[in-house]
Structure formats: C-alpha cells, structure tokens
Chain A
Amino acid sequence: MQQPKEIFVKIDRCVGCRSCTMACAVEHSESKTLFGAISETVMPKSRIYVEWVPPDNKVPLVCRNCDEAPCMSACISGAITKNAEGILITDMDKCIGCWTCVMVCPYGVIGRHLESHKAYRCDRCPDRDIPACVEACPTKALVYDTVESYSESLRKHVSIEMTRSDRR
C-alpha cells in the first residue's frame, strides 16, 4: 500500500517569509488567484501559521493529522472524520461552530470562520498533487513526503554530515 504523505517542517530552514500562508489562502479562495482572492468578500484564510520564537526562530505550524486525533473524538456533532488517506476532514454541513475542536487541539491549528461560523483546518489540498504551501516554500522548509522516505532522507543527511566531520 502506498504510504500516506505528510507535511514535514524543517524549522531551521524557515526564514519567516510567509509564502506558505499566502499560497494556502489563495488555494482556499473562490478564484484561486492572488488578485481574485484579495477582493473576495469573505477573506480567504490560511490553514498554515508561521509563529516566531525567541531568539529568532520561525515555526510553521499545520494540522498534524494526529493518529488519535483529539478533535475528532471531542467533536459533539460528528463533523470530523478521517478519510482513507489518514487526513482529518471537517464536514462543513455538520459543523455547528461550537469550537470544541479548538479547545482540544494541542497544536492550535484549527481556525474559526467567523462569517460562516465553521471551523477550518488544513485539508492537504485535495485538488493538488503537492499542497500549495509546500510548493510555495522558497527554502524547502516544508517537505511533502511519506514518514518512511522522509526519515530515510534525514538519516542520509546525518550520515553525510558525520562522514564530513570525520574527515576534518
């Protein structure tokens, strides 16, 4: 079986340019273009957040699609379901805007549409092969990969670094 892909974050690569948040909001707009998006009456929202931590680290945050997702269990209207790819989907018709998911998400990555009174989150861009945020990231701080392949790339990277330091 094809392993599901995840969005991984390399914090040391993020420069805080917020290209990801822009691309995410555009992707989730009606028009799907930047100029169209900024003129829409309901302002399109990004589902990825870039926070800042002292001394000067930028931290992109996005839904982790937890294995035992607290939001899915806590939801009092059954609006949150995990699809076949392991992605948590909020059913906008079922969501009643009680914000219980916001109250239990330990990552703080569930947003609130105040206009429509619905909760929203990263949907991994179902219409795209690669999520918009990942494609937009100019420093490759966001990586879209399977757990297996991503950890292999990390191992390779570390072993290369170690052999280099041995030579010195």
Chain B
Amino acid sequence: MEDYYQYVIVGASAAGMAAAHTIRQYDHEGSIGIFTDEMDAPYFRPLIPFLVSGKKKAADMSLIGSGPYVEKHITINTGMRVMGLNTTKKQIFLTDRSSVSWDKLLLATGSQPYMPKNIDGLDISGVFALRTLSDARQMAKYVEQTKHSVMLGGGILNLKTAFALLEKGLKVTLVVFSPEVLSQLMEPEDAFLIRKALDNAGLTIITGVNAKAILSEKGKVKGVLLDNGSEVPCQMVCIGKGVRANVNFLTDSNISVDKGIVADKYTSCNLPDVFTAGDAAVTYDPVSGAPMMTALWTNAVEMGRCAGKNMANIKTAYSGTFGILNATQVADEPFVSMGTVHTNSFDFEVYRYHANDSYRKLVFNADGNRLIGAVFVGNIQNAGLYQYVIREKMNIKHLKSYIIDHNLHYGHFLK
C-alpha cells in the first residue's frame, strides 16, 4: 500500500466517492487514496434492503462505473479503519499503526445506527441495525430462522426493510414511539394515505409505544417487551432509530467537532487542507441558516462533490442541506417531503389538499411570499420545481396559485 496520496479520503460511500470523482474531473494527475473499514468495494447503500428481499445481488449495487462514478485512477483501500490523525504532520493512522500522508484530507466517515441505551438486550443474536452490506447479508441469513420480525422505529429505513421482510414471507410488526410513521419527514395528518397503504400491505403498526427490552432464549431473540407492559413474541428485531456521526476517532485531534465535524461554507474544517462532507459533517439549513446534520445519500453526494471541487482548488460554496429532502415509494404510495414540513409550533401559512388518492401540503413563511416546505403524497409530479423554488428562496407572489394548485411548471420561470 502507498504511504502517501495527494488526496486522502476517509470513507468510501456517497460523500467520499462523489468527492473522489469530482477531484478527478478537475485534477487528472494527483493521486487519490480512499480508506474504508468496510470489506466491500463501494456500493449504493440505500439499496441494501434489496439484498434482504433477494431482489438484487451485491454485485448489482456496485458503485464503481455506475452513474457519475466513472473516473479512473482512484485507489480504494477496503478493510482499513482510520484510527486517528496528526494534522501537523498531515498523516492518518490505520489499525496496524501504519501511517499515510496527505496534502488534502477529506473526512467523510458517515454515520452508524443509533442504539438506544434505554432498551435492554441489544446485543442478543437476532437484533439488527441495517447499515452495511455485511449487515444485510447477516440479516438475509437470519431471515431463514425467522417467522416474525419486530421493527423499532417508523422511519424510511425500517419501512424499506419491513417490505423486504414482508416479501420474504415474514410477519412484520412496526413499533413506533411517535403518533405516526415517518414522523421525522411529515406530520401525522400528512402520512394518512401512506399509513393506509402500509396497513393494506399487511404491516402491523403499533404507535405511541417504545420497546423496553429485547427478550432472549438461548442467546437468541424470542420477543420484545414494550413499555405498555405487553410482550410481542418474535425472532428478529430491527433497530431504526436514526444515526450518529462517526467522529470518535477525532477525539484526540484538534478538528472541531460538535456532534459532527463542523464545516464552513466551503466544506472546510477548522484546519487548513482538511475538509468534510456527508453524514459526518455539520452544515447549515439553506432556508433558516441553522446548523444541520442529515443522513441522506442525495445530500452527501452533493456535499461530497462540493468538497471535491474545493480540494481541487476550485473554491465552491456549499448551498446548504435541506434537513428533509426525501422521495420514495412505500407500498405503491409515492411521496416527496422537503424543507420545513413540521408546522405545529411556528407561524406558517399552510395549504393542505386532501383527495382519495393524493395529498399535498405547501408551507409558506408567515408573510406568505416564500415557499419553505412541501409534502406530496400520491402525485409527486414536478416535485423538483418546488424544491428549486424553496432552495432559491424565490419570491413567489406571482406563482403562488400555481404552487398551491400543484400546477407549477418550468414555463412559469421564463420571463
């Protein structure tokens, strides 16, 4: 292995790989070395539930050569965890204490599943928190000895995994502490159609309860004890309670960390020649300016590309991160959620439209002259235009009726 790369990138997922390929577009010569503690070559992480369902093989998820990841001469060192760094000597340290030097460093270490401390028995065999391809393989194997799986948490990851398990013929129960599923992405009222579709698809959903403990027999999961006293027998438990940034290896460094790695407008850390992007980075909300961390593939790629440009000396400001920017389809119900969509606590102008097969909510600021958030369920046509309007903080006075009626098209932007 080389002991020097001009560009060293820690993390080989969305942000790291996007940065590497962007650097290569602008710098055809400089050596690029990527380090990942995973044994697998880079892959599209959002696809791993398909490995559980059997719809895709690991090879179908490979990142290299797909989409924008087509640049050459990028060295990927798998199975190598970075344990720490010396920013004065410009070196990273690996598990075997060897060091690698860099001119420019990107910290794109991503995040890992949050394991709630108030639930006992998370180390029992049969408890999963789906994050890596390796996790997915183990889960797929464990499916064979599982009849009933309990999912703790009602977010997108757990919903996607739940459907993978349903397809494998398992009974699946979702235990959600919030009043409704997808509470991070929308309010209960917004989720009505999605909930209906989930119920019809055969998911059992319990809301307003939390797990207290995982129960075991001979070291394997045999059930979940809920905080309402009831016990749900099952053979598998999936934790989907959000993620935390991988920043522990920075404890002894002088990199500024506040839950995540603090980035300035140009994706730089507090020290020269050190950059950050992706789940591990703290950025800001383009609408409110508030510090923001997200765990979204799409955001990570965009920030990674921006960091890549900055590392290649093309100074580029990062346009910020939508805390919420999700599109997906669960149980044949497509939805998009973006920007500010939780409207209970502040003064917003909100328009809701309910129909049998679609729903939308459009959130404007208190003055009603800027769109700041939107939820579309069922009909998500032209969602990108609304995203554009939110991001550009457009004064939408002349467009407002089109926005509310979901009739906006690009022609409206032409002068």
Contacts and interface: CB of A to CB of B under 8 A. Distances in A.
Interface of A: 11, 49, 51-53, 57, 59, 61, 68, 70, 72-82, 94, 96-100, 102-110, 112, 117
Interface stretch (B89-97, B214-222, B298-306): B298-306
Given A59-B411, A78-B63, A108 B382 contact: yes
Contacts of A105: 384
Interface string B58-92: 00110100111110000000000000000000000
B325 interface: yes
20 contacts: A59-B409, A72-B67, A76-B298, A78-B66, A78-B69, A94-B66, A99-B329, A100-B327, A102-B380, A102-B382, A102-B384, A103-B327, A103-B338, A103-B380, A104-B387, A106-B384, A106-B388, A107-B410, A108-B381, A117-B329
Contacts of A59: 409-411, 414
A98 to B, nearest CB: 5
A103 B66 contact: no
A99 B328 contact: yes
Interface in B2-50: 18, 44, 46-47, 50
Interface in B338-368: 338
A112 B380 CA distance: 9
Nearest to A64: B410
| Listed residue (A75, A80, A97, A112) with the most chain B CB atoms within 10 angstroms of its CB | A75
Contacts of B68: 72-73, 81-82
Given A74-B301, A80-B67, A108-B409, A99 B327 contact: yes
Nearest to B414: A59
B46 A77 contact: yes
B412 interface: yes
A51 B411 contact: yes
A94 B61 CA distance: 9
B174 interface: no
A53 B398 CA distance: 12
A54 to B, nearest CB: 9
A107 B381 CA distance: 11
Contacts of B411: 51-53, 57, 59, 61
A68 B68 CA distance: 10
Interface residues of B, number: 40
Enumerate the 5 nearest inter-chain pairs by beta-carbon distance, A residue then B residue, closest first: A78-B66, A59-B411, A108-B382, A78-B67, A105-B384
A97 B160 CA distance: 13
B384 A77 contact: no
B383 A102 contact: yes
Contacts of B47: 76-77, 96
Nearest to B297: A76
A121 to B, nearest CB: 12
Contacts of A117: 329
Contacts of A94: 60, 66
B334 interface: yes
Contacts of A72: 67-68
A70 B383 CA distance: 13
Contacts of B63: 78
Contact of A107 (B297, B298, B301, B384): B384
Nearest to A49: B409
Nearest to A75: B67
Given A59-B414, A96-B50, A99-B383, 4 more contacts: A59-B409, A77-B61, A102-B383, A106-B384
